[in-house]
Amino acid sequence: MSDQVFRLPDLGEGLTEAEVVRWLVSEGDTVTVDQPVVEVETAKSLVEVPTPYAGTVATRHAPEGSVLEVGKPLLTVSAAASALPAETYREEERAGSGNVLIGYGTSGATASSGRRRRPRAAAATAPAPAPARHRVPLVVSPLVRRLAREGGVDLHTLDGSGPGGLIVRADVTRALAVPSASPAVSLSGERRIPLTGFRRAVATALTRSRSEIPEATVWVDVDATRLWELRESLRPGPGLLAYIARFVVAALREYPVFNSRVDTDRQEIVELSRIDLGLAVQGSRGLVVPAVTDAGALTTTGLDEQIRHVTEAARNGTVLGNGTFTLNNYGSFRVDGSAAIINHPQVAILGFGRILDRPWVVDGQLCVRKITQMSFVFDHRVSDGAEAAGFMRSVADAIENPATAIAKL
């Protein structure tokens, strides 16, 4: 018998660490090649990590809730022989493809190539399984599990209000409202919630944006009545956001400086040839910004399909792509305006508030129109106010006269 040390692999996209959310095996368990052994949370998503070794789990090197750097020992497996030669595994990891895990695209997935990813609720037994007389709680979000753990709430006692009985944050919050169920709340009324790996990454990115980017904000009220009417006349066609995305793409072609990044080392503005349109989405793990890749090559219908796809993926905890420009529909939260923070290393973000019936003057006559407020935050290093105003008017004019704008696209 020999010990094989499985180190936290490179999970791709430049990530250097991950938080251990849940162990799927215990010390002494027998594991096979490609079996998921631990669930980790990165700044991008939740990942079930499979082992490249078969044998008996000798040591779990990190407790749940701890943060582990890439390359640090994760698991030691006692085995007669390595299921995947360590040097081969390390060579693939050093290649930096992001697909270095067995079953995630490597050539070593032979013994278990037919494995199908199991739902997390049915994954391998955790170190402290519930007694057989209890049902297994259906919980997907590690944030919900942590909230319950810190508040002393037994998930086995909850009935989930989500789809299929899924236990969601609101279920735990209701349980915490019972005084005896919340030991995490001190006498002074404080409750401390640790920053997860995802929240730490968000905090770092936003702090960097605020500290590095000299941002400026401009806004304008837009009459969206004709766009609203166009959308209603073409139901069940593309949604309003798809049309707005189409107009934004056209404006970025006209003002490419806002589809760029700043190379501070060389003191250059780098304009990007492809528009990857980021969309701010409130997902299960917080605010994330998935992207519609090469949005400039899509029709309005194509944009609508991709927007729905990436939005649903983000809400389920999977983040897709990195955008070059961000579109934020904060109107979905029933607010009218926002001075948003630029998603570094992007240089601008465009947001829309809710569309409301408001009094508006048209051709000298007071009437009721559907009005939305549009705000634009941009990096003042790449542009002065004139270009920002031009970009804003390009999008606003298209919204106010959508038929004419579409005909020119």
Question: Is 156 considered catalytic here?
Answer: no
Identity (one letter) of the amino acid at 151? G
Contacts of 23 (CB under 8 A, 6+ apart): 37, 38, 39, 60, 64, 126, 127
- Quote the CA–CA distance of 137 and 160 in Å, as a whole number: 8
- With residue 376 as reference, give the H or E element that holds it: strand 365-379
Distances in whole angstroms, Cα of residue 381 to Cα of each of 215, 264, 335 = 8, 11, 29
Query: What is d(CA 189, CA 195) in angstroms, rounded to the nearest whole number?
Result: 19
Residue 239 tokens read as: 């949604």
Among residues 134, 156, 309, 380, the one annotated as catalytic is 380
- CB count within 10 Å of CB 210 equals 12
Cα 194 to chain centroid distance, Å, stands at 19
* Distances, alpha carbon 78 to alpha carbons 25, 68, 145, 154, in Å: 14, 22, 31, 34
Q: Where are the alpha helices (DSSP H) in 95-154?
A: 142-151
Provide the annotated active-site residues. 380
